[in-house]
Amino acid sequence: MTTVTTDAPITPLRERMQHDMMMRGLGRHTQQDYIRHVRRFAAFLERPPDTATEEDIRRFQLSQHERGVSASTINGAVSALRFLFAATLGRKDLARALVIIRYRRKLPDVLSVEEAAQLLEAAPGIKYKAALGVAYGAGLRVSEVAHLKVDDIDSTRMLIRVEQGKGGKDRNAMLSPQLLELLRMWWREGKRRNVMLPHGWLFPGRSYTDPVSTRQLHRAVQEAAEVAGIRKRVSPHTLRHSFATHLLEQDVDIRVIQVLLGHSKLETTALYTKVSTRTIHAVAGPLERLTALMAERTACRPAEPCRPRSRSPIFSAPLVPPIGPPMPGTSASSSSRSCRRSSNAGPRRSAAISRPARTAAIGASPTTAAVTVTAPSARALRRAHGLKPARPTFSRSAISTSSSPCPPRSPTSRSTTRRPSMISCSGRPRQRC
């Protein structure tokens, strides 16, 4: 593991911190990030960082929030300063004073299959087309694509060997026949240009002894996206996201995708289940089920004729058609309708008033037979059950006859004077007050 060298004079504190990072096996880019964050902290204090206090750390983090620094940058500075105070200076009390930010991870942008094809076709040259094809066809990171060697392509086993990937891990990636043919096209073109060494880099940079830089790959992707007319925010890592999402939409096991991507935790790979369109479209919403159920009920419901609704049980029994011709200018249907209107137009009778029977006589002429439907009264029902008949509580006036063709109902003459009861509820005689 190499240390980071700069043109500026190295102070004893920086040299000690670099040695601590080298002994702990931190990567080259991690060392550069830690040194940069410590340098910014020293510039804020305007004195060496080993003289900092808890109040200085608090003011530094408050200034970051006030300047609108992103959460990832703040957390990177926290990691660097924690390493400085805990590992190099042995001040764990200052390391505990640093506060990290919890932020929600955003969903990545994913290209469709058609957009991925357009992006590869618009790549500037066969070299970048092959490099982007490896990023999309094998799901490699941009740093892993840049550091591939010719010997890493195993056409016999159809594998791509990734050495010292993220976290210093080795793994095997998939190699499809279409990707192998694309790499062979670039191999022949590189041999023709004399830029391919026998055991050198698969994608050399400006110097044949150095690999292509990740910045060059970023520029190639942005240029290809502009030519293809893709308005999404595209980067080489977008092709890796698209690789995992498209495999998930093809019903590939998520654990297989985890191995191909080189993820240590399954939770990291499970992020692609949130952006997989096939997974979302496969779920039937409750509104669709409700709509289908209503349509099925409407299709299976038989057509029923409209029936008139009666207000009284008198008209629930079927009526015998009249015998003989109706009166001139009056039909049987109109006569029954007028009877129903006249009976409904009369005053409502209380249930406390008992009648021997309720009679509805329908007749249009002397030659028309009257049909009588009799229903048991409340008094009869009380007698049948062995109960005493209820007395009327108020007077009822006689019903005036109308001009209806139906025969008028005879009013019931009954005394409306309420008499005091001489028998109590218990059946014993009581004295009149």
Count other C-beta atoms under 10 Å from residue 63's C-beta.
11
What single string gives the DSSP state of each residue in 118-163?
Answer: HHHHTSSSHHHHHHHHHHHHH---HHHHHT-BGGGEETTTTEEEE-
Catalytic residue among 59, 218, 237, 382: 237
What span, in angstroms and rounded, lies between the C-alpha atoms of 107 and 277? Answer: 13
Which structure tokens are listed for 191? 């041999």
Is 240 one of the catalytic residues? yes
d(CA 309, CA 383): 32
Per the annotation, the verdict on 166 as an active-site residue is yes
Q: Is 136 a catalytic residue?
A: no
Tokens of 15: 């040299």
Q: Given 59, 91, 218, 263, which residue is catalytic?
A: 263
Q: Which of 129, 240, 246, 340 is catalytic?
A: 240
Annotated catalytic residue, options 36, 166, 358, 409: 166
With b for 16 or more beta-carbon neighbours within 10 A and e for fewer, the 251-272 pattern comes to eeeeeebbebbbbeeeeebeeb
Q: Is 141 a catalytic residue?
A: yes
Is the torsion defined by CA of 195, 199, 203, 204 positive or negative?
negative
CA angle (176 as vertex; 281, 197 as ends), nearest 5? 140
Q: Which are the contacts of 77, defined by CB distance < 8 A and separation ≥ 6? A: 37, 40, 41, 64
**Looking at 82, 129, 141, 147, which residue is catalytic?**
141
Judged on CB neighbours under 10 Å (0-12, 13-18, 19+), 289 is: exposed
Half-sphere exposure of 261 (CA within 13 A, CB side): 26
What amino acid positions are annotated as catalytic residues?
141, 166, 237, 240, 263, 272
